[in-house]
Amino acid sequence: MATKQIELAGVGPITLIKRAGNRSLRLSVASNGTIRVSMPRWTPYSAGQAFALHNLVWIQAELAKQSQALLEAGQRIGKLHYLRFEQVLGGQPTTSRVTGTEVVVRLRPSESSDSPGVQKRAHAACVRALKREAERLLPPRLQGLAAKHGREYSSVGVKLLKRRWGSCDAHQAITLNLFLMELPWDFIDYVLLHELAHTLEMNHGDGFWRVLLSMQPRARDLSRQLRKRQPAIGVWPD
């Protein structure tokens, strides 16, 4: 993996990353302000810089959004949960819990919900809630789509994946990112169909797209939109 850092006026440093498996340019902005352009290995760095410049307004908007992106009371987490902060007396444990409908984060009297320590506990609890939701909702959703389109797979699992919404290996085992629960259902279904298409075509060539488009005619448009999305309760883990 080759990298190069550039400076872009108005946003600061940007890391250009060449990856062997990339077939297109992708732009991401992390919660710490790190900006990355992932690109195919054969693409010149100048193309990555031009891509970042072309998306300058979007980058600036993401930086502004993420600088304010605190987890807040009442915030919806995935499809089934809401976040609640609960004050406890001194000496009581501040362990968080996940119920069927709530993510409850406990605070000491000296803490506020926007403090870094509380936000860290809230994020971890929200991830647990999303994993429960994903394990409950995604396997039957995948099974239904597979039956509808006559596709088969060997197994399905849920994990916290780095920078991928899902994967399918050569044994037709599908892994889904728990952060999918933060996406609208049309994007979730696109990812599930994307991985089902990989059970027939392991690459992203013309054959893959023929299979995917036969199941979802809007696949190319959904794919373009999905490249600009990140998990709502955080960003892709480093």
Co-location of 139 and 206 in the same domain: yes
Range of the domain at 83: 76-131
Q: State the burial class of residue 158 (Cβ atoms within 10 Å of its Cβ: 0-12, 13-18, 19+).
A: buried
| Beta strand extents in the chain (DSSP E only) | 2-8, 12-19, 26-29, 35-40, 76-77, 81-87, 97-98, 102-107, 155-159, 166-168, 173-177
Co-location of 206 and 190 in the same domain: yes
Co-location of 90 and 172 in the same domain: no
Whether the predicted pLDDT of 116 surpasses 80? no
Q: Residue 68: its pLDDT value, please?
A: 53
Give 21-47 pLDDT, tens digit per residue: 888 899 988 766 789 999 999 989 999
Can you tell me the distance from the alpha carbon of 174 to that of 157, in angstroms, rounded to the nearest whole number? 6
Co-location of 119 and 145 in the same domain: no
Would 188 be classed as within a structural domain? yes
Can you tell me the distance from the alpha carbon of 110 to that of 197, in angstroms, rounded to the nearest whole number? 52
Co-location of 146 and 196 in the same domain: yes
Give 202-236 pLDDT, tens digit per residue: 999 999 999 999 999 999 999 999 987 877 675 54
Whether the predicted pLDDT of 14 surpasses 80? yes
Give 133-173 pLDDT, tens digit per residue: 999 999 999 999 999 999 999 999 999 987 789 999 999 99
Co-location of 87 and 37 in the same domain: no
Would 231 be classed as within a structural domain? no
Co-location of 141 and 163 in the same domain: yes
Can you tell me the distance from the alpha carbon of 143 to that of 140, in angstroms, rounded to the nearest whole number? 5
- SS3 for 151? coil
pTM of the full predicted structure? Answer: 0.72
**Beta-bridge mates of residue 14:** 6
| C-beta separation of 5 from 14 below 8 A | yes
Phi, psi of 62, rounded to the nearest 5 degrees: -65, -40
Whether the predicted pLDDT of 100 surpasses 90? yes
Q: State the burial class of residue 147 (Cβ atoms within 10 Å of its Cβ: 0-12, 13-18, 19+).
A: exposed
Can you tell me the distance from the alpha carbon of 21 to that of 147, in angstroms, rounded to the nearest whole number? 30
Would 233 be classed as within a structural domain? no
Structure-model confidence comparison of residues 37 and 110, the more confident one: 37
Co-location of 142 and 198 in the same domain: yes
Q: Where residue 162 sits, what CATH number does that domain have?
A: 3.30.2010.10
| C-beta separation of 38 from 162 below 8 A | no
Would 140 be classed as within a structural domain? yes
Q: Residue 2: its pLDDT value, please?
A: 86
CA-nearest of 137, 139, 150 to 197 is: 150
Give 43-82 pLDDT, tens digit per residue: 899 999 999 999 988 888 877 766 556 889 999 999 999 9
Confidence of residue 126 (pLDDT cuts 50, 70, 90): very high
CA-nearest of 155, 154, 141 to 191 is: 141
Number of domains in the chain: 3
Would 89 be classed as within a structural domain? yes
Whether the predicted pLDDT of 9 surpasses 60? yes
Would 235 be classed as within a structural domain? no
Can you tell me the distance from the alpha carbon of 155 to that of 172, in angstroms, rounded to the nearest whole number? 7
